[in-house]
Amino acid sequence: MSVNIKLLMILFIAITQLNCKQKEGSDNQNGSVEVVTPTDFKEKSKDQLIIDIRTPQEFRQGYIEGAVNINYFDRDFLEKISQYDKSKPIFVYCRSGNRTSSASRKIAALGFEKVYDLQGGILNWMRNNNQIVKK
């Protein structure tokens, strides 16, 4: 009986570890998604494509310098995103990181080779004393 309990515990730990790794970064069929800290996002996104997927109203409240606003809730969201070069990295963020989790997977599935997802969104960006641009 104790062998069965040990096997169940090992299986539980393995599944838990696999689930955590998938949240941190995952490879999609066509590209990979990497969740990055604000510091890494800031360093890696210099002179790169940054997409703010919040609504236009949220965008006007403040955004990361150089970001392009493409509303995740627009019907043509994926169509607008697909117009960019899929061989170049794309940096994506929203308010708190919830929308980018789903959006990043969809973007990678479009064929983008590397998608960077800002951990915690723009709220975490500001908590880490990074500047935003206000319209």
Known active-site residue 94 = yes
Please list, in sequence order, all residues whose beta carbon lies within 8 angstroms of the beta carbon of residue 84, skipping any fewer than 6 positions away: 49, 90, 112
Please list, in sequence order, all residues whose beta carbon lies within 8 angstroms of the beta carbon of residue 105, skipping any fewer than 6 positions away: 26, 28, 33
> Residue for token digits 């990043």?
104
Map residue 115 onto helix, strand or coil.
strand
List the catalytic residue out of 35, 53, 64, 94. Answer: 94
> Which residues participate in catalysis according to the annotation?
94
